[in-house]
Amino acid sequence: MARRRVSNPLALAVLSCLNERPMHPYEVSSTLRFRGKEDSIRINYGSLYSVVESLQKHGLIRARETTREGRRPERTVYEITDAGVAEFEDWLAELLSTPVREFTSLEAGLSLMPGLPPEDVAKLLAKRADRLRAELRTLDTTLAEATAVGVTDLFLVEGTFRRTMLSAELEYVGSLAEGIRTGSFAGVKVWHRMHELRGAGVGLEEILADPVGHLGEEGRILLQFPPG
């Protein structure tokens, strides 16, 4: 997605609004907010105005008129260009069809989790599971309410997608927490022993220099695959 002139998804949302009819930036942001898009696309003023300027610079939108009512700040109404329509369709098609590697904070956390003792990690993950369950409950009631009022699947798609992903995360996190707690998760013993030694004042560097000596045969694995 780096090759697009304007890469912020907010720009796509702007194009989507202007594809409907000309608007001024603030109207774009209110429209998006009203339609609940802020739940799937980060909207903030700083980005909005720089994104609009950038879209204009690249010929994807053009200023139509600048009006001023009373002593209010002036409003510039923009309209989409043909190039803008093409970019909108192409970009949207790409977003839907092409998975991109996204780095989540949980992945970062998991990849560095050996930095905390297993008992702590198990507790932290269990807490996360609780919070995920709470989020899921909220989301479910929101979805149920919307359905009750007659909103169709089409407008709930972001919500149901989020539901799917949250629920997959919950299942993973829950069973991981359990596996660490009960020790069924392979590697917990060495992991635990490592923190025991550290607590006793042995440096990580020392342990890694001679894992078998400090941790027994199970530590051998660290020679090839050091922890994070």
Partner DNA sequence: CACTGAATACTCTGATTCGAGTAATCGAGG
Partner DNA sequence: CCTCGATTACTCGAATCAGAGTATTCAGTG
Q: Residues 130 to 169: which contact its own copies by CB under 8 A? A: 131-132, 135, 149-155, 157-158, 160-162, 164-169
**Could you tell me if 16 and 41 are in contact, meaning their C-beta atoms sit under 8 angstroms apart?**
no
Phi-psi region of 99 (alpha: psi -120 to 50; beta: other; left: phi over 0): beta
How far is C-alpha 227 from the geometric centre of its chain's CA atoms? 26
Residue of 2, 148, 149, 154 that binds DNA (CB under 7 A)? 2
The Cα–Cα gap between 41 and 38 comes to 5
Does residue number 150 form part of the binding site for DNA (CB under 7 A)? no
Taking the complex as a whole, how short is the minimal distance between the CB of residue 224 and DNA, in angstroms?
18
Residue of 19, 40, 76, 142 that binds DNA (CB under 7 A)? 76
Does residue number 13 form part of the binding site for DNA (CB under 7 A)? no
Q: Give the phi and the psi of residue 74 in degrees, each rounded to 5.
A: -75, 150
Taking the complex as a whole, how short is the minimal distance between the CB of residue 228 and DNA, in angstroms?
19
Does residue number 79 form part of the binding site for DNA (CB under 7 A)? no
Does residue number 226 form part of the binding site for DNA (CB under 7 A)? no
Q: Strands, E, within 92-212: which ranges?
A: none
Strand partners, 67: 75
Q: Which helix (H) or strand (E) holds 75?
A: strand 75-80
Residue (5 or 220) nearer to DNA, CB:
5
Options 50-58, 62-70, 73-81, 219-227: segment touching its own copies (CB under 8 A): 219-227
Residues 171-210 that bind its own copies (CB under 8 A): 171-172, 176, 179, 185-188, 190-191, 203-205, 208
Q: How many CA atoms lie within 13 A of 213 on its CB side?
A: 6
Does residue number 95 form part of the binding site for its own copies (CB under 8 A)? yes
Tokens of 73: 């700040």
Tokens of 205: 């560097």
Tokens of 212: 């078998």
**Could you tell me if 27 and 96 are in contact, meaning their C-beta atoms sit under 8 angstroms apart?**
no
Does residue number 55 form part of the binding site for DNA (CB under 7 A)? no
Residue of 53, 65, 107, 210 that binds its own copies (CB under 8 A)? 107
Of 187, 176, 180, residue with least CA distance to 211: 187
Residue of 28, 51, 60, 121 that binds its own copies (CB under 8 A)? 121
Residue (3 or 68) nearer to its own copies, CB:
3
**Residue 6 binds which of its own copies, DNA, none (CB < 5-8 A, kind-dependent):** DNA
